[in-house]
Structure 1
Amino acid sequence: MVKPMNMFFYGLFALFVGLSVGLFGVQLPDGVSIFQLFQSTDNLELLLIQSYTLPRVVMALLAGGALGFASLLLQQVMANPLASDNTLGISSGAQLTLFLTAIFVPSWLDFGSSIIALVGAFISLFFVFCLAWRKSLSPLLLILAGLVLNLYFGAFSALMLLFYPEESRGLAQWGAGSLVQESWHDSQWLSLQILLMGMIISAFLRPLTILSLNESNAVSLGVPVNRLRFIGVMVASYLIACVVSSVGMLGFIGLASATIVRQLGIRTFTFQLIASFVTGALLLGVTDVSLQFLSLWKGINLPTGAVTALLGTPLLLWLMFRAMPHSGRLVEQMPEKIRRFSPHFLGILCLIVIAICVLALWAGQGGEGWHWQVNDDLQAVLWQLRYPRVMVAIGVGILLAVAGVLLQRLTLNPMASPELLGVSSGTGMGILLVLFLFSTQAIQWFWLAGIGGALLALFVLSSINQRNGMLPEKVLLTGISLSALFDTLQRLAIAGGDPRATQFISWATGSTQHINADFALPFFILSLTLFLISFLFSRWLALLALQAPMAQALGLNLKKVRWILIFFSAILTALATLIIGPLSFIGLFVPHLARFLGAYKVPQQILVSALIGGGMMVLADWIGRQWLFPYEVPAGLVVTLLGGAYFLVMMRKI
């Protein structure tokens, strides 16, 4: 394995040097040698290269190397080949804390942006570990938990972009992973931090190497496993926080470099760390220099982090497929004390949903404060504005809740949801393409593009998973990759500063503000029809809970059933996403609430989930209208923030 390894590093290094020399050759003034870059000069063009281009190249090497080093360290101490800054939500947590600090308390940045980013990284890790700990930190569940955190933190970022567009514009560009530099200050500071963390890890190289054995063997050899893991996670998180505070999020560079090193067969942990640093540095260096060429020749400025995330999505999918046989299937465990479902629960739940609808229709704020009923003329106007929104909110809640029940029953995975299927992402991609490629405002094109995007996502799902018989876990992993791809495209669109990005953000946060009566009634009837159709799948879903061999023995055609259920879930998700946007936790946490109320049988869970989902969406829409009156917070964003918080608390009990 030595020769292929050397060939890889030599080839990657030669590519980086060739591109860098070519870039400097294009930028250097006539008659100036490349060696003069490293000498003092009074030439303005040369000074610009020394202060902008050269620090950017060095920053790419340092940031890529730090992420590669940190990701391999995380994989070693957690014994998880999928661990990295992106898959565990560390980068998104660090970015969110910096985002909030820069908007609300910018004076705190004087104490050090790395410390603030580190706090966010630890918050992310804390939540991810809480979600996955009861499942023995299964690699698959860790990745799913990281995705949930990314979605949740993304909702907060969307809220900031919506209400603080001017303050957030530069932050959005930075958050997409921009390596643009104006001096040597950041690269020098990052190099010192990398050197310090490297010295700390060098003192623990031998016990960290022993962690390659299983935990019991390491303990028998006198290795303090828990303390060593804590040190490793601390160092890796600090390095990631330093990179994020300097240049923003750089998607999948760390995961890619650590994976390449392991595939090259480097056995000793010390050389793996060194090779990961070098690989990450060269990968990011090659990517960023190539983007600088693109900027010079075509005038297209793309953030490096978003491009690396775009390229890294297929890698994440491949890695998760390979890790699946060793990760174990995620099976939702029944609680020790089973609550019996009572018809009284159903009656009380119906009364609660009715009360919420009454509240949304007649209660609100006005110019003179809160009111319950106003004069007849104004009440008639408010009724015409409010009842279509209530009907659509109920319909959307029903669709997402039923889709969540179907997916969690299908995959036997409590973390499954419409967001993780990738169809929401496909719908969003269609909307994004219409906005940026055709600049149309016709509503029918948005519908066609959204449905087309959902069908495209479904086609990708089926194409990738057709040979393995549409296994639910692998379908779920494909959806994760599609969601990551959509997030990358969204960050690329926002970072470009195009005004159409604001329109897309408004749609993505999920508002019912523009719904009218002509649309509301047909949509509500369609939602109820699909809800009733879902009861036809009750027997299939009940048999799937018996595991595949037993279900097949009872005459269930697994491949056909999975196709039908996935396709039906995709339809439900696409219709709801077109109204409320891709960000929502309704399908994720509502089925858990139904089971908490004792609805364990499939028909009961579908019915109760539909009621809770519809009521939750109406309540979220009403809260969004009243929370910051006279400003409006989109319902999709409200339900994401509230539902995500509940889910993070309740997942510890699953």
Structure 2
Amino acid sequence: MSEAVVLPPSPRPAGWPALLLGTLLLAGALLCGLRLAAILPPEQWWQALTQPVPGDMTQVVFRHAVLPRMAMALLCGAALALSGVILQRVLRNPIASPLTLGISPGAQLALGAAMLWAPTLLAASREAVALAGATTAMALVAALSWKRGLAPAAVVLAGLVVGLTASALSAALILMKGEYLLSLLLWGAGSLAQAGWEPVLALAPRLALAAAAAFLLRRPLLLLGLEDTSARSLGLSLALGRAAALGVAVWLAAVVVAEVGVIGFVGIGAPALARLAGVRGMGRLMAWSAGFGAALLLLADGLVQLGQGLRGDLLPTGAATAVLGAPILLWLLPRLRAGSPAVMAGITASRRLARPWLFLALLLAAMPVLTWFGLALGRGPEGWSLALGVDWLGMLPWRAPRLAAAMAAGAMLAASGTVLQRLTGNPMAGPEVLGLGAGAGFGLALLLLLVPAPGRPAQLLAVAAGAGLALGLLLLAARRGGLAPERLLLAGVSLAAFFQALVAAFQASGDPRAVPLLGWLAGSTARLGPEDATIAVGLALLLLPPVFLAGRWLALLPLGDGVAVGLGLRPGLARLGLVLPAAMLAGAATLVVGPLSFVGLMAPHLARWLGLRTPRQHLAGAVLLGALVMGAADVLGRGLAFPFQLPAGLVAALLGGPYLMALLARRGQVA
């Protein structure tokens, strides 16, 4: 992985960090003060603290609900920020956060599984169950990346794979057992609501111990920010240093997640604010980041509590942090300095095919046979069977549209992921980093809120509008950096977090209109008809050919701007010419079958592993494999949980996750 975007400390006056932190704390304190005053007059605050009146419920709420909530916000914000700054230093990546290691998805999956199959464990200790899931996810990430000495690229990629797989499993459980697990959506959105001081008093000493351990790691963290050779020459064991630092960071995040749920954006925004304020030195950066994290979460929770007098928690605190933090991070983009030129680290193939075009031709010739098999295979009350002859023709109107739409969407997502991975030189890149799927989900959520029982054309229009909004904001945010890959990734992550937070708030509201949204976000093809298939195939035929004409750009841009300019290429214009089709491909697939981003990550890796090296070979192989993966996912989704139907997107994630994990475990890297 190349040195990612770096946010260098700016030359600021000595008191600038304190001024910025004080402003944020004052704003958060004022908002919380308004909430306190709405519950209890200020002249009674001291009495409620020292000599509360027995039976006075307003004083009980003041003392045992609102004040512990403020304390929890400060503790959790500081812990998440400290975890984030450690992860960013170890992974050399400014968008690293506790979510990068799959901690929150692992904890959510453990809670869901325990609700269904081991409720006694939840009764004994819900926090222990969540912590066990988070720790298991962390251990799996460490095991998958151990062969490469916990190298930054390997850890981040392993965390992404583990997180996506855990999220897919959680979504499958919720869809199949929604009557039991819908409450898990609220926990997943993050809530700081408290019913006493016990959680705060239990959390504080654990976080203090973890913070002390982080303070002792200042020198190793300082060296981990250097090149590997320089760090080794100064006597640092890279594997041991990274393992220790990651362990402390995950410990901090896991304790918070186990207590209050998923609150993820603080770990990115707080260190960025500290660097923007001009903080230098590892120790000072950790301390000031913790302060900024506490202030940001207090401010976000204060905004949440403003709406409590109307409808309770209108927006969960975890979602509010993204709503507040994403615009801040987008505002920081022009101040980011790109690191070293992008290289194809982890992108090159491990083998080379002697006749790649012959292999592609054979794969293309096999598509009709595989398509026929997918149309014929199905499952009924008597098990799996093949429909032949008249039965096959009878099934065609039901199965052909959804299979064609799924395969077209898989091809488009694979092409988008291939372009993004080669453009950025980053094996983690995929359509999800553009935020298009999250924007489309926001468009659909808004439609479901405003229009009762909207029809299919209205849904497609709303999804298109949401994806278009995300694309416009993405290009607007990254334009000042010449559409540099790092800025595009950071802008996409910020936009995705922003839109996902709004969608999560809608899902956590308990509104029954949000139930169809979960199925769409998971990539359901169950209700697709001939019109949807025609749209999907038409968009694929329109958008895929132009990408193959950009093979020279895909070959030169990963070598760095200097090389590209020397060979007569204008990097900014070329990136725009690649980003637009990649975004349109991802958006077109999202219009039909939802944000199936895992295919965009998996298909390029599979094509590379098979030995397709040049950009056009790589792109062609990924497109064909993406179509096959999504087609297989649709067929399996029809029958694996019969009589229930699993969304094809979830099945693709469940197929791809173990595959990518196996490659990571066997080879130490993907492809």
1:65 match: 78
| Match runs of 1:336-355 below 5 Å | 337-342=351-356, 344-346=358-360, 348-350=362-364, 352-355=366-369
- 2 CA distance for matches of 1:448 and 1:385? 24
CA contact (8 A) 1:425 1:483 kept: yes
TM-score normalized with structure 1 length: 0.87
Aligned-partner residue type, residue 365 of structure 1: R
Aligned-partner residue type, residue 356 of structure 1: L
Tell me the CA shift for residue 453 of structure 1: 2.3
- 2 CA distance for matches of 1:465 and 1:358? 44
Structure 2 residue 417 is the aligned partner of structure 1 residue 425: no
Question: Residue deviations 1:320-343, cap 9 Å, x none?
Answer: 776652365241453464222355
Structure 1 vs Structure 2: percent identity of aligned residues?
36
| Match runs of 1:494-509 below 5 Å | 494-509=507-522
SS class of match (2:384): strand
Aligned-partner residue type, residue 613 of structure 1: G
- 1 CA distance for matches of 2:552 and 2:340? 29
Tell me the CA shift for residue 623 of structure 1: 0.4
- 1 CA distance for matches of 2:570 and 2:23? 50
1:27 match: 39
CA contact (8 A) 1:395 1:524 kept: yes
- 2 CA distance for matches of 1:412 and 1:265? 30
1:604 match: 617
* Match of residue 631, structure 2, among 607, 618, 626: 618
RMSD: 3.6
- 2 CA distance for matches of 1:634 and 1:525? 22
1:467 match: 480
- 2 CA distance for matches of 1:489 and 1:39? 41
2:382 match: 368
Structure 2 residue 569 is the aligned partner of structure 1 residue 584: no
Question: Residue deviations 1:236-263, cap 9 Å, x none?
Answer: 3222111111110112223333344444
2:644 match: 631
1:293 match: 306
2:575 match: 562
* Match of residue 359, structure 1, among 346, 353, 373: 373
Aligned-partner residue type, residue 90 of structure 1: I
CA contact (8 A) 1:74 1:236 kept: yes
CA contact (8 A) 2:603 2:625 kept: yes
Tell me the CA shift for residue 504 of structure 1: 0.8
Using a 3 Å threshold, how does the CA distance of structure 1 residues 611 and 186 change in structure 2: closer, same or farther?
same
Aligned-partner residue type, residue 62 of structure 2: I
Structure 2 residue 591 is the aligned partner of structure 1 residue 572: no
Using a 3 Å threshold, how does the CA distance of structure 1 residues 110 and 586 change in structure 2: closer, same or farther?
same
2:348 match: 334
2:205 match: 192
* Match of residue 399, structure 1, among 412, 436, 439: 412
Tell me the CA shift for residue 311 of structure 1: 1.7
Tell me the CA shift for residue 581 of structure 1: 0.6
Using a 3 Å threshold, how does the CA distance of structure 1 residues 647 and 155 change in structure 2: closer, same or farther?
same
| Match runs of 1:280-319 below 5 Å | 280-296=293-309, 301-317=314-330
- 2 CA distance for matches of 1:126 and 1:327? 31
SS class of match (2:643): coil
Aligned-partner residue type, residue 301 of structure 1: L
CA contact (8 A) 2:343 2:558 kept: no
Aligned-partner residue type, residue 354 of structure 2: R
Aligned-partner residue type, residue 99 of structure 1: G
- Larger Rg over CA atoms: 1
Using a 3 Å threshold, how does the CA distance of structure 1 residues 471 and 130 change in structure 2: closer, same or farther?
farther
SS class of match (1:94): helix
Aligned-partner residue type, residue 24 of structure 1: L
Aligned-partner residue type, residue 34 of structure 2: G
Tell me the CA shift for residue 27 of structure 1: 0.8
SS class of match (2:379): strand
- 1 CA distance for matches of 2:339 and 2:166? 29
Tell me the CA shift for residue 173 of structure 1: 0.6
- 2 CA distance for matches of 1:408 and 1:207? 33
Q: Which shifted more, 179-188 or 274-283?
A: 274-283
Using a 3 Å threshold, how does the CA distance of structure 1 residues 485 and 641 change in structure 2: closer, same or farther?
farther
- 2 CA distance for matches of 1:327 and 1:104? 49
| Match runs of 1:36-185 below 5 Å | 36-45=48-57, 46-75=59-88, 82-109=95-122, 112-125=125-138, 149-185=162-198
Using a 3 Å threshold, how does the CA distance of structure 1 residues 134 and 407 change in structure 2: closer, same or farther?
farther
SS class of match (1:326): coil
SS class of match (2:182): helix
- 2 CA distance for matches of 1:427 and 1:462? 16
SS class of match (1:331): coil
- 2 CA distance for matches of 1:522 and 1:81? 38
Using a 3 Å threshold, how does the CA distance of structure 1 residues 68 and 562 change in structure 2: closer, same or farther?
closer
Aligned-partner residue type, residue 446 of structure 2: L
Name the count of aligned residue pairs. Answer: 652
Q: Which shifted more, 511-520 or 619-628?
A: 511-520
Aligned-partner residue type, residue 41 of structure 1: V
TM-score normalized with structure 2 length: 0.85
Tell me the CA shift for residue 446 of structure 1: 1.8
CA contact (8 A) 2:90 2:221 kept: no
- 1 CA distance for matches of 2:519 and 2:258? 27
- 2 CA distance for matches of 1:117 and 1:259? 28
Aligned-partner residue type, residue 388 of structure 1: P
Tell me the CA shift for residue 413 of structure 1: 3.5
Q: Which shifted more, 320-329 or 448-457?
A: 320-329
- 2 CA distance for matches of 1:288 and 1:229? 33
CA contact (8 A) 1:114 1:241 kept: no
Using a 3 Å threshold, how does the CA distance of structure 1 residues 22 and 130 change in structure 2: closer, same or farther?
same
SS class of match (1:620): helix
Tell me the CA shift for residue 514 of structure 1: 1.5
- 1 CA distance for matches of 2:308 and 2:79? 26
Aligned-partner residue type, residue 293 of structure 2: G
- 2 CA distance for matches of 1:281 and 1:546? 41
1:410 match: 423
- 2 CA distance for matches of 1:250 and 1:185? 20
Structure 2 residue 501 is the aligned partner of structure 1 residue 480: no
2:10 match: none
CA contact (8 A) 1:155 1:637 kept: yes
Using a 3 Å threshold, how does the CA distance of structure 1 residues 546 and 273 change in structure 2: closer, same or farther?
closer
Tell me the CA shift for residue 444 of structure 1: 1.6
Using a 3 Å threshold, how does the CA distance of structure 1 residues 284 and 145 change in structure 2: closer, same or farther?
same
Q: Which shifted more, 30-39 or 303-312?
A: 30-39
Structure 2 gap ranges (5+)? 1-12
Using a 3 Å threshold, how does the CA distance of structure 1 residues 30 and 424 change in structure 2: closer, same or farther?
closer
Q: Which shifted more, 265-274 or 460-469?
A: 265-274
Tell me the CA shift for residue 571 of structure 1: 2.4
